[in-house]
Amino acid sequence: MSLRYLASRLTQGIIVLWIAFTLSFFLLYLLPGDPVITMLGAGGELQNFDPAEVERLRSEFNLDQPLPVQYLLALVAVLRLDFGTSIQTGTPVTEAIASSLPSTIGLAAVALVIALVTGAAIAIGATLTRRPWLRDALAALPGLGVALPTFWVGLMLLQVFSFRFPIFPAIGTGTPTAVILPAVTLAIPLSAIIAQILFRALQNAWIQPYVTTYTASGYSRLRLLLRQALPVAVLPALTMSGVLFGQVLAGSVVVENVFSRQGLGRLAQTAVTGQDIPLVQGIVLFAAAVFVLVNLATDLIYPVLDPRLKAATRNVPADATRTDHEGVRA
């Protein structure tokens, strides 16, 4: 892996973050009229604003400055990781995000573990089984998983496992068992996505000629799957990890609402409800940064795992550069 590759990936990520900032800036601060009125309006008193308060907010957000100056001031502030302060609580946005993060990370970690295990089990089971009905049933599960509304699944689980059979607490973050139901709720769409991607990748690997080669060399089905198909199939699945993390963040908004948990999702919801523009922008940029970082990590790991990419970036022995496409005959 060359330094140039690393640098180009890094630059791309930074450009994405910069555009994300620019877009969110223009969307939130410029689009629908006066953001100060919007923010105050959400506070409750719709009619009479205190003109002094309006002016104070105006200058706090530099809205009294010309547009390019506003933008540059905001950009410089963001570069110093200063996303402003929350309108509702007055705490700095970075602080608000940081304090809500641990709870969401805990939830996401449990959910990801559940999702990886069930997702992989479904995909591998569906590929491995010789029984058509079982394969069809397993292959249909992910489709079901992505179609169920998360908020509804959470409520159904609550209804059954907290009210009908009080096994788990209905709300809160107090006991360790309290994380189970929300994590399962969050894990259902995640595992469905993992199962879908992995199953498709395994199917694709399974019909490759090399599987025939090794089948004919006496390999068992299980060995073929685990040692030959899976190492190839996890590669495309890996590229989806950025999307997966985004899914976790989006899911946490709904799940934390349903189970009345504190966390980033909850923070996002209250920010939108209160039209807390700095907080919303901070969360959006945070999500974009997570996505960029995860993708960057994937990009760096990928060539290590896939020799085909490595070969493409490094010098290949001269005799291997020839292709044989011209002589292909039926």
- Residue 113 or 304: the one with the smaller Cβ distance to another protein is 304
Check residue 118 for interaction with another protein (CB under 8 A).
no
Minimum distance, C-beta of residue 118 to another protein, in the bound complex (Å): 19
- Residue 118 or 257: the one with the smaller Cβ distance to another protein is 257
Beta bridge partners of residue 92, listed in sequence order: 85
- Residue 10 or 287: the one with the smaller Cβ distance to another protein is 287
- CA-nearest of 21, 36, 16 to 80 is 21
- State both tokens at 209: 């000629």
Footprint on residues 15-74 left by another protein (CB under 8 A): 15-16, 19-20, 23-24, 27-28, 31-32, 38
**Binding segment (CB under 8 A) for another protein, from list 59-67, 77-85, 174-182, 285-293:** 285-293
Residue-level length of the chain: 330
Identify the residue among 81, 231, 239, 313 touching another protein (CB under 8 A): 231
- Residue 187 or 232: the one with the smaller Cβ distance to another protein is 232
Identify the residue among 71, 168, 259, 291 touching another protein (CB under 8 A): 291
Residue 223 contacts residue 289 (beta carbons within 8 Å): no
Check residue 155 for interaction with another protein (CB under 8 A).
yes
Identify the residue among 47, 80, 165, 323 touching another protein (CB under 8 A): 323
Check residue 163 for interaction with another protein (CB under 8 A).
yes
Minimum distance, C-beta of residue 194 to another protein, in the bound complex (Å): 16
Identify the residue among 152, 172, 175, 239 touching another protein (CB under 8 A): 152
Residue 235 contacts residue 229 (beta carbons within 8 Å): no
Residue 165 CA to residue 197 CA, distance in Å, equals 35
Q: Determine the Cα angle at 25 with ends 20 and 30, to 5°.
A: 140
Residue 289 CA to residue 86 CA, distance in Å, equals 20
Identify the residue among 207, 226, 239, 313 touching another protein (CB under 8 A): 207
**Binding segment (CB under 8 A) for another protein, from list 2-10, 74-82, 115-123, 213-221:** 213-221
Alpha-carbon dihedral of residues 178, 180, 185, 187, nearest 10 degrees? 140
Check residue 269 for interaction with another protein (CB under 8 A).
yes
Compute CA distances 265 → 27, 85, 97, 180, whole Å. Answer: 21, 18, 10, 17
**Binding segment (CB under 8 A) for another protein, from list 3-11, 58-66, 94-102, 301-309:** 301-309
Residue 78 contacts residue 94 (beta carbons within 8 Å): no
Check residue 302 for interaction with another protein (CB under 8 A).
no
Residue 279 CA to residue 265 CA, distance in Å, equals 12
Q: Determine the Cα angle at 173 with ends 287 and 175, to 5°.
A: 140
